[in-house]
Structure 1
Amino acid sequence: MQAQSPSILLLAYYLTRDDPRLSRQVRLLRSAGQEIQITAAGIYGHRLACADSHVIVGAASPRRRIWLAPFLARWERISALHRLNERRWDAIIASDPETLIIAANLAARHNAALIYDAHEFYEDVAGGSDGRTSWVRRVHERYLPMARHFFVPSATIAARYAHLYPGAPPADVLANAAAHRRSSNCDSRLRSQCGASRSDRVLVYHGSIGAGRGLNELISLFERGGPPGWKLALVTSDFGFEMQRRISACREITHTSRVPHEELADYLSGADAGIVPYALTCFNHDAALPNKLWDFGAASLPCFVTPAREMSTIVRVFGSGFVLPADPAEWGAFIASTSSEALAAAGRAALRFFSNSQWDEQGRVFASKVLAAAASLSVKTGV
């Protein structure tokens, strides 16, 4: 019996160009496997920026403002799911609770290995409702025991999942270690856009503007004058009208559009420090290791973080940043008191954190388990 090339489906609800975790997974599988077929599929989204991977997308424009939009979106989702069902799969990786349901049913139909990559602790996220939490728990209770392998972004989240779902496979940690080339540290675009002088320091936040990200507290800090000599750069998608009005009224804040992932490390290197101001109002933020830590590390930027257990442990162990006071009212004085020497030392440590072989090893574990599961199924279905 001759084995066919293993066919792997990476299934995400929102498939976005700049999702570093999904892009990294495709790269890990590509670099570790030979003669494999990888397809990234999304119910909503755009083409994932991964070389040599096929893409199937459902409703690419869920916000189209025409009366037919809901009907077209539903038709496109159904069409995408039909196309998925017509293919042969050896391993299916689900990236969130919504796609876990689809993936589990596809895996059962195709006798494929089901793999669940929980990007976060979905049961307790910022802005989540009790109804959403109950729904996620029902999904996990039903489908997690069906998974061949289970990956989570931190050890703290792995422990919580093990406590809640003893029937699930033991979770392996796959950190959000973003794939970057090291920055050349000579990019001046960000400083120019901020109008920063030689004596100014630039603090940068990049990423989502979702609930609990601490952006309101960060903007309020600079509305009150901010740390003397510092400017704030927000590299995000568009804010709502009221928040945009506040940003425009504060001359120490600059809002720029998000940049392509392949340019991010160079672009961020124009700042003096990064910040992850997550509010500790949910377990997910307390236990998260966001990809921003690696983005800043690739740019040799020290990072200010709130006292979340996982982030604060990282910056203390590696010396790659500073843990902010719990009270946002104290952030300004804390940042202002950080010396140039301390910032430079933490920046060098941030690059060491980014380059740590531990993250490569986690990637190798992920790739080896997925490829072994896919290969075992492709042998069974070979001709």
Structure 2
Amino acid sequence: MTRRRPRPRLLILSFFDISVDPRVMKQVRLFARDYDVTTCSPGPLPHPDVAHIPLDESWVPDRGRIGNLVDDVAREREWFRWSYRQTPIVKQARRKLRGRRFDVAIANDADAVGVASGIVGASRVHADLHEFFPGLPQPEGLLGDRQRRYWTWLVRRHCAAAASATTVGAEIARRYAEYGVTPGVVTNATHRHDLPVRATGTPLRLVHSGNPFRDRGLGEIMRAVAASTSEVTLDLYLMTHNQVELAAVVELADALGDRIRVLEPVGQDELVETLNRYDVGIHVLPPTSENNSLALPNKFFDFVQARLAIIVGPSLEMARIVREHGLGIVTDDFSEESIRRSLDALTPDAVDAAKRAADAAAHTLSAESQVDVWSDAVAAIVSRRGVRS
């Protein structure tokens, strides 16, 4: 009787709630089929076929007066290794994972890679970097400069030592090469949906989904819709966790008139079907940070799977894909006036053509065409390093 080979044990580590993170949930669903998966993150069990080690985001250890003094000195003198190990969620994850055995780990984002490396060894870690961490927005001054150096240290010290890495776009991957990391690319593509290409009528129905943050350019989009000479409406499905910024968007929508509505957010499992009822997805994201200028977010791919025409600003990655596949319009810049000119030029025939282009590109721009990069990277680690007894 032949013994069945043991399935490799995979740790998927994140310092954010995996159950509401579409990117990490793709990893969980992908690997639960062939690996013994353990997830470790804040939040609930993300999938019935995995084990879960929960982290408490609110937990802060009592460091005492001496410990706090040492932490202050460490920050001032940039003892980054000390500061990293004393970060509450890092300390908690290391404690909860200590003594557990895994054959391979996926660490999501730069701050999780050091913990995963401490558990399985850097040669068994795949780092999935959701943003360009050296370019995260920071306040001006000494504190912001120090924080940028800290993120750069994390990337050079931990991410560059990992066995392999991926990130969300080709331009971000090129930027990481300057820091000793050579990531593959797994975009934030949405799973393929088989949805109809709906005929376009009037008024043209625009839609946006996401967070109500003021640096996302929602004000410019809303004012452009209100001022457009075309018959257009805009529905905004906005997350509710930032009530202050959400209230500001609602107030502006009320002031601009009945072309614009702010609606309750829709769950990820029904979002694409909801978007399919519209004509145009719009996301004109001002380059207020390096990551914003390089962004290629989930919502862009949601629009594709919903078979919508798409309007974006001249952001490097989004503009490239819109032009490559004929998905819609790239505005001249990120201003209200530029958005308004693009809206004024919209016609039902042009929108119908862009919708058909989205349908033609739906498989190429789906998650199914991307996730093999993760599969191959993790399998390569297991092949090289073996399954521990």
TM-score range relative to shorter protein: 0.7 to 0.9
Task: Find the residue that maps to 1:182 and give its secondary structure.
Answer: coil
Residue 136 of structure 1 is matched in structure 2 by 151
Task: Tell which deviates more after alignment, 306-315 or 87-96.
Answer: 87-96
Give the distance between the partners of 2:229 and 2:91, measured in 1 at CA: 52
Using the TM superposition, give the Cα deviation of residue 94 of structure 1 relative to its aligned residue in structure 2, in angstroms.
1.3
Distance 2:362 2:299 in 1: 11
Residues 1:147 and 2:162 are matched in the alignment: yes
Residue in 2 aligned with 1:338? 346
Aligned match of 1:174: 186
Query: Residue in 1 aligned with 2:329?
Result: 322
Report the more deviating stretch, 16-25 or 318-327: 16-25
Measured against aligned partners, the alpha-carbon deviations of 1:258-302 in whole angstroms (never above 9, x if no partner) come to 222121111101111001111123322222222222111111011
Matched, 1:225 2:244: no
Q: Percent identity?
A: 26
Paired residues of 1:89 and 1:112 also in contact (CA < 8 A)? no
State how far apart, in whole Å, the 2-side matches of 1:377 and 1:227 are: 63
Structure 1 residues 126, 248: CA separation in 2 closer, same or farther (over 3 Å shift)? farther
Deviations 1:193-229 (A, max 9, x none): xxxx96322211112334632123223334x534532
SS of residue matched to 2:106: strand
8 Å CA contact 1:158–1:171 kept in 2: the answer is yes
Is 2:140 the counterpart of 1:125? no
1:115 and 2:126 aligned: yes
Say if 1:120 and 1:152, in contact at 8 Å, map to a contact too. Answer: yes
Q: CA deviation at 1:77?
A: 7.7
User: Which stretch shifts more, 212-221 or 258-267?
Assistant: 212-221
- CA distance change for structure 1 residues 80 and 334 in 2, over 3 Å: closer, same or farther? same
Kindly provide the CA deviation profile for residues 324-368 of structure 1, in whole angstroms up to 9, marking residues without a partner as x.
Answer: 120322211211211111111111111222211786454212212
* Alpha carbons of structure 1 residues 341 and 216: separation in structure 2 relative to 1, 3 Å: same
Q: How many residues align?
A: 352
- Hey, what does 1:66 align to over in structure 2? none
AA aligned opposite 1:176: N
2:303 matched to 1:284? no
Between 3-12 and 343-352, the greater mean CA deviation after superposition? 3-12
Separation in structure 1 between the aligned mates of residue 305 and residue 154 of structure 2, nearest angstrom: 36
Which amino acid counterpart does residue 283 of structure 1 have in structure 2? E
Distance 1:292 1:174 in 2: 15
The aligned residue for residue 55 of structure 2 is 58
Q: Equivalent residue for 1:366? A: 374
* Aligned-partner Cα distance in 2 for 1:123–1:28: 29
CA contact (8 A) 2:228 2:343 kept: no
Paired amino acid for 2:176: Y
After superposition, the Cα gap between the structure-2 partners of 1:357 and 1:56, relative to the gap in structure 1 and judged at 3 Å, is same
Contact residue 127 and residue 212 of structure 1 kept, 8 A:
no
Higher RCO (CA 8 Å, separation ≥ 6 residues)? 1
The answer to whether the 8 Å contact 1:297/1:352 transfers is: no
Question: In structure 2, what residue type is equivalent to 1:289?
Answer: L
CA contact (8 A) 1:90 1:378 kept: yes
Residues 140, 353 of structure 1: alpha-carbon distance in 2 compared, 3 angstrom cutoff:
same
Structure 2 distance, partners of 1:309, 1:220, is 24
Q: Which amino acid aligns with 1:37?
A: D
User: In 2, distance between residues paired with 1:75 and 1:159?
Assistant: 32
User: Paired residue for 1:193?
Assistant: none
| SS at structure 1 position matched to 2:98 | helix
Instruction: Name stretches of at least 5 consecutive residues in structure 2 with no aligned partner.
Output: 63-86
Of 12, 15, 25, which residue of structure 2 is paired with 1:13? 15
- 2:103 corresponds in structure 1 to 90
Residue 249 of structure 2 aligns with which residue?
243
For 2:292, give the aligned amino acid. H
Quote the Cα distance in structure 2 between the aligned partners of 1:12 and 1:208: 21
Tell me the residue number matched to 2:311: 304
What RMSD, in angstroms, separates the aligned Cα atoms of the two structures?
A: 2.9
Counterpart of 2:373 in 1: which secondary structure? helix
Ranges of 4+ aligned residues in structure 1 off by more than 6 Å:
74-77
Select between 228-237 and 128-137 the one with higher mean Cα deviation: 128-137
